[in-house]
Amino acid sequence: MPLLMLDLDNTLVDRDAAFRGAVSAFLAEYGLPAADLTWVMAVDAGGYAARRDVAAAMTDRYRDAVPAEAVRDLLDQGGADRVVLADRARAALGEARADGWTCVIVTNGRTVQQEAKIRHAGLDGLVQGWVISEAVGCGKPEPGIFRAAAGAVGVPLAGAWVIGDSAHADIAGANALGLRSVWVSHGRTWPRDSHRPTHAAEDVAAAIDHVIGAGRQGPAGPGG
């Protein structure tokens, strides 16, 4: 069975929208300026900023208005209870599995938070497995996490595809292993000169559709 490895945050689910909603509720609960939403999202950097750094910045800014444990609770949950799997993505995953693809989520992050997102979005019933960087001790773009994903579902890496929104974590990681990839662009322009994805798609549903089509045409090399 061919292997399809998919990123979670801002690929399968809109992590930033979920976190934005959680931050808006947090600011309203503590009577803080709604305009601070822009500041928090900038500090968070799309989830790539270290949690401790975000916690330190928010605790310092709101030390007279918000208990430190409230900031920790917000960041621990990270909007996990607000993530939504789009209908088109759900349908595309179903089609991939019907075509014989083994689908596994490969995500950086904290185990409790990422698993909460997977279960809340209903992805636990749509993929054959997942690996999370905290649990396996290495993160994208390191080859180890992709190898762990293949091992978790018992499928060889040969012929696998990687789908993700990060040029560094997802696409560079795939290239290092000689795997084909689809970059989820969300309307962005590809930012790198050193390497390129096999294909670019506007969203994850279109990315999965491309992989399914490529699979029906037969095997090809990383650039095919």
Please report, for the chain, the start and end positions of each structural domain, with discontinuous segments joined by +: 3-14+83-217, 15-81
pLDDT of 90 > 70? The answer is: yes
- For residue 211, the tally of other CB atoms under 10 A from its CB is 27
Report the Cα 138 to chain-centroid distance in Å.
15
Please tell me the predicted confidence (pLDDT) of residue 124. 98
Q: How does residue 194 score in pLDDT terms, banded at 50, 70 and 90?
A: confident
Question: How much of the chain exceeds pLDDT 90, in percent?
Answer: 94
Decide which of 147 and 224 is more confident: 147
**What's the whole-number average pLDDT of the chain?**
95
Report DSSP letters for the chain, one per residue.
--EEEE-TBTTTB-HHHHHHHHHHHHHHHTT--TTHHHHHHHHHGGGTS-HHHHHHHHHHHTTTTS-HHHHHHHHHHTTGGG----HHHHHHHHHHHHTTPEEEEEE-S-HHHHHHHHHHTTGGGTSSEEEEHHHHT--TTSHHHHHHHHHHHT--STT-EEEES-IIIIIHHHHHTT-EEEEE-TTPPP--SS---SEEESSHHHHHHHHHHHHHH----TT-
The whole-number average pLDDT for the span 14-19 is: 97
Tens-digit pLDDT profile for residues 120-158:
999 999 999 999 999 999 999 999 999 999 999 999 999
Q: How does residue 224 score in pLDDT terms, banded at 50, 70 and 90?
A: very low
Task: Return the structure tokens found at 9.
Answer: 């945050």
C-alpha atoms less than 13 angstroms from C-alpha of 141 in its C-beta half-sphere: 18
Nearest to 2 by CA among 199, 175, 157: 157
pTM for the model stands at 0.93
Residues facing 180 on adjacent strands:
161
The whole-angstrom separation of Cα 16 and Cα 57 is: 19
pLDDT of 223 > 90? The answer is: no
pLDDT of 222 > 80? The answer is: no
The whole-angstrom separation of Cα 122 and Cα 100 is: 20
The whole-number average pLDDT for the span 101-130 is: 97
Q: Which CATH architecture has domain 3-14+83-217?
A: 3-Layer(aba) Sandwich (3.40)
